[in-house]
Chain A
């Protein structure tokens, strides 16, 4: 191994040993960091679940095909039969323009007004009902495109306004989550900065002695930077453990809520790579916090 690598490893294990030697102080700051990391992560995961569920709930909703006025009843029925042959379609209902007008007359109470019209303003309608759980949101969009391209169809609509609303809320939630993340991430930086500041002051004499015997600033800085990084990374690992514990408690409820019996559902959302980001992120925030503290306070400590 190269000498500089050995030196870095020595400092790495030395500062880890320092953390181990004051277990309570370490545990406290690591726990605070973990909680700060858990909160935005949990929010993010919850939004992910909602987003995913809303995607699944696209299925079961029906697609309405408004037909061109000149399409005859016979042509409409033929089209209905053709669509019905698709494997993912449960049923297709045809509501003729006349039937639609009759329905409207009864429900709206505008009967007299409608009599004044010399032409039926309503188009014929095909209601396409997909089989349960067979239609993903992507497929639904593909179908919309395909159906609206049919010559008989004037317009294809998908009954998903509420899904869109939900997704808009998820987006707002994601914005909020981003703001939370930035605030709490800043909190982690400050917490670790403060811990390192205290460590610097409690080892003031050691720092002075090191400076007297010719230690460079880089040498003195190094163990503190490692310590900050390690506390942040440990906080990230703790956060990871908390989230896994919470997920395994919540998973049955979430699956029930989703109305599916596919148990791999939650595991798909929480990918390993996504969660390994937590210790990495914690480590980076810890490094930043230590860097701030070290930059401010190491210069102040001079032998004299």
Chain B
């Protein structure tokens, strides 16, 4: 699903945010990405969604090398990836339903299909009753679940999450992680960047550990 090969990333005017990173994530696999603050977790996820480009090395998503992907192809890459953010990135002037529908509207689906699939996604995250609410009328955990519903509504084969439980208390965090595990059980590959080492240990998935931009555990054996 994902393959990094000798990937370096240097931001203009900074040191190396990623150094010689190599790993694979198999189709349908779930893993955590950990490391201290500034280790390069967010940077690694941004390379997968072509928000940033690698300075050196190759990033493969499925059969496609995206390290030099053309601008006009980027939207279609992103439609194959569900992204979840710590700060949710919801539109506050639209209802929960409209927020979740956004990826399908963008992809140009028919109205009837959009209705059906949005309601299915909201049902999976347990928020069907709140479809007419606005994001700010929801709790932090509920907003995060709206974000997850939006990420999965297009049925992407890959989910990425950057600190999805950063603002939530332990029991809510576990709930959110269980939700990811549930999607993983039906064949979706999941990669989650997180600080929450205790929770990660508890769940027992593979861990990719970054330190100072280098992958120190869980990557390709060298």
A residues sitting closer than 8 Å to B (CB atoms) are: 3-4, 6-7, 205-206, 208-217, 219, 302-304
**Chain A residue nearest in CB terms to B77:** A214
Return 5 A-B CB contacts under 8 Å, by A number: A3-B110, A209-B89, A214-B79, A217-B72, A304-B46
Question: Which residues of chain B have C-beta atoms less than 8 A from A214's C-beta?
Answer: 75-79, 103, 106-107, 154
Contacts A206-B91, A303-B51 known; A213 to B103 CB distance under 8 Å? Answer: yes
**Chain A residue nearest in CB terms to B156:** A214
Flag B52-96 by CB within 8 Å of A: 1 or 0 each.
100000000000000000001001111100010000010100000
In-complex Cβ contact of A209 among B52, B91, B107 (8 A)? B91
Q: What is the distance, in angstroms, from B33's C-beta to the closest C-beta of chain A?
A: 19
Most chain B CB atoms below 10 A, which of A209, A210, A304: A209
Contacts A212-B49, A212-B89, A214-B103 known; A7 to B108 CB distance under 8 Å? Answer: yes
Q: Is the interface of B mostly helix, strand, loop or mixed?
A: helix
Question: Which residues of chain A have C-beta atoms less than 8 A from B83's C-beta?
Answer: 212-213
Q: What is the distance, in angstroms, from A22's C-beta to the closest C-beta of chain B?
A: 12
Please determine whether B75 and A211 come into contact, CB atoms closer than 8 angstroms.
yes
CA distance A210 to B102 in the complex (A): 8
Please determine whether A213 and B108 come into contact, CB atoms closer than 8 angstroms.
no
Please determine whether B72 and A6 come into contact, CB atoms closer than 8 angstroms.
no
Q: What is the distance, in angstroms, from A221's C-beta to the closest C-beta of chain B?
A: 13
Most chain A CB atoms below 10 A, which of B46, B52, B106, B111: B106
CA distance A216 to B78 in the complex (A): 10
Contacts A206-B91, A213-B83 known; A304 to B110 CB distance under 8 Å? Answer: no
**Chain A residue nearest in CB terms to B82:** A213
Q: What is the distance, in angstroms, from B20's C-beta to the closest C-beta of chain A?
A: 23
CA distance A36 to B52 in the complex (A): 44
A208-B89, A213-B102, A213-B150 given; name 4 further pairs at CB < 8 Å. Answer: A7-B108, A216-B72, A217-B75, A304-B52
With an 8 Å Cβ cutoff, the count of chain B residues facing the other chain is: 22
Q: What is the distance, in angstroms, from A240's C-beta to the closest C-beta of chain B?
A: 33
Q: What is the distance, in angstroms, from B49's C-beta to the closest C-beta of chain A?
A: 7
Please determine whether A3 and B79 come into contact, CB atoms closer than 8 angstroms.
no
Question: Which residues of chain A have C-beta atoms less than 8 A from B108's C-beta?
Answer: 3-4, 7
Question: Which residues of chain A have C-beta atoms less than 8 A from B46's C-beta?
Answer: 304
**Chain B residue nearest in CB terms to A7:** B108
Please determine whether A210 and B106 come into contact, CB atoms closer than 8 angstroms.
yes
Question: Which residues of chain B have C-beta atoms less than 8 A from A304's C-beta?
Answer: 46, 51-52
In-complex Cβ contact of A215 among B75, B150, B154 (8 A)? B75
Question: Which residues of chain B have C-beta atoms less than 8 A from A208's C-beta?
Answer: 89
Please determine whether B78 and A6 come into contact, CB atoms closer than 8 angstroms.
no
CA distance A205 to B154 in the complex (A): 21
Q: What is the distance, in angstroms, from A201's C-beta to the closest C-beta of chain B?
A: 16
In-complex Cβ contact of B111 among A4, A6, A210 (8 A)? A6
Contacts A206-B91, A302-B51, A303-B51 known; A212 to B111 CB distance under 8 Å? Answer: no
**Chain B residue nearest in CB terms to A210:** B106
**Chain B residue nearest in CB terms to A6:** B111
CA distance A6 to B49 in the complex (A): 30
CA distance A214 to B79 in the complex (A): 5
